[in-house]
Amino acid sequence: MIDQESFMADNLHEECGVFGVYDNGDGLDVSRLTYYGLYALQHRGQESCGIAVNNRSDDGNIQIIQYKDMGLVQEVFNELVLKELNGFAAVGHVRYTTAGASRRENAQPLVSRYQKGSFALAHNGNLVDIDRLRKNLEEQGAIFQTTNDSEIIAQLMAKERIRTGSMPLAMQKVMGEISGAYSLVIMTPHRMIAARDPQGFRPLCIGKIKNSWVFASETCALDAVGAEYVRDVDPGEIVVADNDGLHSYTEMCGNKSSLCIFEYIYFARPDSVIDGQSVHRARLNAGRFLAKESPADADVVIGVPDSGLDAALGYSYESGIPYGVGFIKNRYIGRTFIQPTQAEREAALRIKLNAMREAVARKRVIMVDDSIVRGTTCGRIVKLLRDAGAKEVHVRISSPPFLNPCYFGTDIDNRKNLIACRMSFEETQKKIGCDSLAYLSIDAMHKLVPGCRLGHCDACFTGNYPVYVPEEN
């Protein structure tokens, strides 16, 4: 068995998911819809979550009220909290830390109150060169309440809104000042704004419920609230929802797009569609390519939950080797980082990954996983299969080796901790303890979503960063 602490230490995490609802006269329960949307996006962040709503008081004034805390969506919100979050618009956020400490004050949405009023902001991604941006703002008198880079965007938005005539114009100005990954949902007293960075690193889509508008990181969240998918927000586009409908500003569009390829390999839910391409289909393709590039004589193909399952199925389809359920993952223990003592954390962190002895005993096994970061977890999973009686274990990875850190919202570590940078291929195979090891080729990775209209960022594999990044320490 593998405890969660060990399992999570060598698995990748994406920073967050965003969700927003603007009720255009349909009488929607926006806080509950946001709760359902965040539930569907829980895989994108498990450390903290929050919801902010536009509430209209009896005297007609509009104020933003919010609730956020550390923990999973079902841990933070209950019926009483949701009933208190009454409003006609809502924005929500789930977070995993890649920039800024794991503390309650860094939970989102961020609510900013300034000279022109107030707004709530939810951000998915990471900015680059945040130290310079933060220093410049502090020298101009800005006071920061958090350590995450999302507050830099909020500070810049407030500053530019004071100087310009509208929030969309302020957003355009800010987009010219910052670089990196940012899919944003911003709620003001009278409208909702969605924006995506000019490279389109992170996904963001638009849905509709009757006459009302929904924004989400993935289409699976639209499905969860019964919204009809309309389209994706284009890279560099600013979309505004208000009582007059939907408005698009495309002045910042036109750059070469660089959607993170790992959205298809790992991050997104398999039932999501990103920029017109099925995540499930992309992972099936990864498995098919693996089977062609790296065949093995075996009795069964299994996948490591969760993102390795579809790739394993694709490998099985292509190779003709039967697919089997090789592991059971315990899904019923909540987050435990908020436990007060290390002993309690360790006791609560025993979310187990258990091998199915009946599926692997006395068999030659092909084990498909999405990636190898530091190598520790993969080696322990191989040992699980050995202990369950597997005769051979052939590891197939549905992505190329990680050779470079990510600066755009993924916690891919610096090079000294990446096993592909520290060890040769032969050393990696020996450390993991498998009979054979193979990665998906870069050429095959570029073919996973052949119909995608966007280019992709593959810098963590190739070192080809689409924008300037700071030198690694």
Q: Are 185 and 179 in contact (CB under 8 A)?
A: no
Q: Which residues, at least 6 apart from 299, have a Cβ–Cβ distance to it below 8 Å?
A: 321, 322, 363, 364, 365
Detail the DSSP E strand segments found in 291-340: 300-303, 327-329
- Give every CB contact of residue 113 below 8 A, 6+ residues apart in sequence: none
**Which one-letter amino acid corresponds to residue 167?**
M
Three-state DSSP class for residue 289: helix
First to last CA, the chain: 36
Reported residue count of the chain is 473
Which residue among the candidates 16, 49, 220, 406 is catalytic per the annotation?
A: 16
Compute CA 391 distance to the chain's CA centroid, rounded to the nearest angstrom.
36
In 3D, which of 13, 5, 4, 11 has the Cα closest to residue 375? 11
The CA-atom distances, in angstroms, between 349 and each of 4, 266, 342 are 5, 22, 10
Sort 166 into a burial class: Cβ within 10 Å, 0-12 / 13-18 / 19+: middle
Pairing of strands 245-249, 212-216: unpaired
* Cα-based distances in Å from 117 to 112, 162, 184, 244: 8, 10, 19, 21
16 flagged as catalytic: yes
Here the tokens at position 97 are 């830390």
Task: Return d(Cα 463, Cα 124) in angstroms, integer.
Answer: 22
Q: Where are the alpha helices (DSSP H) in 245-307?
A: 262, 279-293
> Dihedral of the CA atoms 279, 283, 288, 293 (nearest 10)?
130
* CA distances for 337 relative to 86, 268, 340, angstroms: 30, 24, 8
Active site residues: 16
